[in-house]
């Protein structure tokens, strides 16, 4: 076999992000012009990670396999087929190169084998917003306090990148009320490989549009649109005329070839508009459409969802499936096997940073819940904390053997979201459930 006697080494354009169980290959991590479609991570299980960390150009592929098998008292013969398939795949993706003689090559790494460090970060640039939406989990408004300085933002962005974060999201509040929004947008697009920009679409200015056009190969713009009826949308968003402005922005960005994903917050007044909204999104030229029921966080706690009997539930499920079938080019569906992770990664694979530097597992976690302050605390003190280790190891309710799915009235609510599992224990139950007890999350429930 040709590759057996060659000396494989990790390409210098690849960074190995280390995790406590395996790792991630960050391909082309230094290039600043990688498009969304080309940029990718490759997840490594523990064995694949250990093999990759041996690929420094000093041993042949055959020697690497033999050394790895010796550690676990395994026979190389039993593993050679998948091993050489993996090597050829890594060669084709230019993750590794091979030499015909031994030569030392340095493997660039980030992260740690001792504790998890995030790969994705969401920055809340400000908690201020020009709207006052009925469901806002942050309870943002024009009067809300909290705006990060441009200097602090850049310092934090640099630290995150150096520690393995390659993709980021900037959000608010509303990002375009930030006085340095365009400078921040330019900075993150130069720094990170994939950038999501979340906005309500009512404050798009020419300079911002030009920046989005410049970096459109690596940007996704997320814009909220909640009804095809302007009065319903404007009432929900707390400002007359917001529907027209938002639709105009969606079309403007789409016409310039910028990837726009429209998100719809579903509640009783608009639940039968999802089909019409999908058509509206298509007509405006957006590339993707997603919708979710309003969650009971922040102001969303005041929104009461309709109670559906079995027949009404069946009709809505049928309605929803027909929409997904008709608009499958617009509506992204995550394959079930990709959902079967211990949890979504909130708090260890991805994080949210408030304008004050407080780190939360995800955007829906209460503002008061903090893993630490990234402006003041060391990286290790935040991510090597007992709390982060607990969140990393927690099984989401749906996938935990400790969840009494068939007997629990909240199983549909909690699903694969450990935050909702915590939330149901804090606000909807009289007693802590078996899932929270056995996953040792009782103390975390009290922090929600």
Segment 243-289, tens digit of pLDDT: 999 999 999 999 999 999 999 999 999 999 999 999 999 999 999 99
Q: Using alpha carbons, list the distances in angstroms from residue 319 to 40, 263, 267, 274.
A: 35, 18, 15, 9
Residues of the chain within CATH 3.20.20.70 domain(s) are: 120-339
Query: pLDDT above 70 covers what percent of the chain?
Result: 95
In this prediction, residue 340 carries a pLDDT of: 47
Residue with token string 């590794």 = 96
CB 293 within 8 A of CB 266: yes
The pLDDT confidence band at residue 432, using thresholds 50, 70 and 90, is very high
Average pLDDT value over all residues in the chain: 92
Kindly state the tokens that stand for 2: 């040709």
Residue 419 neighbours by CB under 8 Å, 6+ apart = 346, 361, 362, 364, 365, 448
Judge whether 61 and 84 are in contact, CB under 8 Å. Answer: yes
**Residue 336: which pLDDT band, with cuts at 50, 70 and 90?**
very low
Fold of 2-111: Outer Surface Protein A; domain 3 (3.90.930)
Q: Is the per-residue pLDDT at 328 higher than 60?
A: yes
Q: How many CA atoms lie within 13 A of 87 on its CB side?
A: 25
Residue 337 has pLDDT above 60, yes or no: no
Percent with pLDDT over 90 in the chain: 79
Q: Can you tell me the distance from the alpha carbon of 48 to that of 189, in angstroms, rounded to the nearest whole number? A: 31
Tell me where in the chain the CATH 3.90.930 domain(s) lie. Answer: 2-111
d(CA 237, CA 231): 10
Task: Check residues 332 and 65 and name the one with the higher pLDDT.
Answer: 65
Query: How far is 225 from 291, CA to CA, in rounded Å?
Result: 10
For 140, the token pair is 């943002």
Nearest to 368 by CA among 381, 378, 379, 354: 354
Q: What is the pLDDT of residue 27?
A: 86
Residue 22 has φ and ψ, to the nearest 5°, of: 105, -145
Q: Averaged over 215-226, what is the pLDDT? A: 96
Task: Check whether 216 has a pLDDT greater than 50.
Answer: yes
pLDDT at position 240, please? 96
Q: What CATH number was assigned to the domain covering residues 120-339? A: 3.20.20.70
Give the whole-angstrom CA distance, residue 227 versus residue 276. 9
pLDDT of residue 37: 62
What would the two tokens of residue 369 be? 């819940």
Question: Is the pLDDT assigned to residue 159 strictly greater than 80?
Answer: yes
* Confidence label for 109 from pLDDT (cuts 50, 70 and 90): very high
């Amino acid at each position: 076999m040709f590759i057996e006697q060659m000396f494989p080494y990790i390409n210098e354009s690849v960074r190995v992000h280390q995790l406590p169980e395996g790792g991630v290959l960050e391909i082309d991590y230094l290039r600043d012009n990688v498009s969304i479609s080309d940029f990718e991570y490759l997840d490594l299980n523990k064995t694949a990670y250990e093999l990759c960390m041996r690929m420094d150009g000093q041993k042949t592929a055959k020697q690497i396999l033999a050394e790895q098998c010796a550690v676990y008292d395994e026979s190389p013969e039993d593993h050679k087929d998948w091993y050489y398939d993996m090597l050829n795949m890594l060669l084709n993706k230019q993750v590794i190169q091979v030499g015909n003689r031994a030569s030392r090559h340095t493997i660039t790494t980030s992260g740690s084998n001792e504790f998890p460090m995030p790969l994705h970060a969401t920055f809340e640039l400000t908690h201020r917003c020009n709207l006052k939406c009925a469901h806002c989990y942050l309870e943002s408004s024009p009067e809300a306090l909290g705006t990060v300085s441009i200097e602090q933002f850049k310092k934090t962005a640099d630290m995150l990148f150096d520690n393995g974060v390659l993709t980021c999201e900037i959000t608010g509040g509303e990002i375009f009320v930030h006085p340095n929004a365009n400078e921040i947008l330019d900075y993150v697009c130069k720094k990170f490989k994939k950038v999501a920009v979340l906005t309500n679409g009512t404050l798009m200015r020419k300079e911002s549009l030009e920046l989005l056009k410049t970096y459109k190969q690596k940007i996704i713009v997320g814009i909220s649109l909640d009804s095809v009826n302007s009065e319903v949308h404007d009432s929900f968003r707390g400002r007359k005329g917001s529907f027209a402005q938002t639709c105009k922005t969606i079309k403007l960005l789409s016409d310039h070839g910028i990837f726009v994903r429209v998100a719809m917050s579903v509640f009783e007044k608009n639940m039968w508009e999802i089909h019409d909204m999908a058509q509206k999104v298509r007509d405006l030229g957006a590339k993707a459409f997603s919708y979710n029921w309003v969650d009971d966080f922040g102001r969303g706690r005041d929104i009461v969802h309709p109670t559906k009997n079995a027949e009404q539930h069946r009709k809505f499920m049928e309605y929803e499936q027909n929409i997904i079938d008709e608009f499958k080019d617009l509506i992204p569906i995550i394959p079930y096997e990709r959902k079967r992770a211990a949890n979504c990664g909130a708090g260890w694979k991805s994080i949210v940073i408030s304008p004050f530097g407080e780190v939360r597992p995800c955007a829906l976690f209460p503002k008061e819940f903090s893993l630490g302050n990234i402006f003041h605390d060391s990286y290790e003190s935040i991510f090597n904390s007992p709390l982060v280790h607990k969140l990393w190891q927690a099984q989401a309710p749906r996938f935990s053997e400790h969840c009494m799915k068939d007997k629990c009235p909240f199983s549909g609510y909690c699903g694969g979201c450990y935050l909702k599992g915590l939330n149901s224990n804090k606000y909807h139950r009289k007693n802590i459930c078996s899932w929270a007890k056995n996953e040792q999350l009782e103390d975390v429930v009290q922090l929600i």
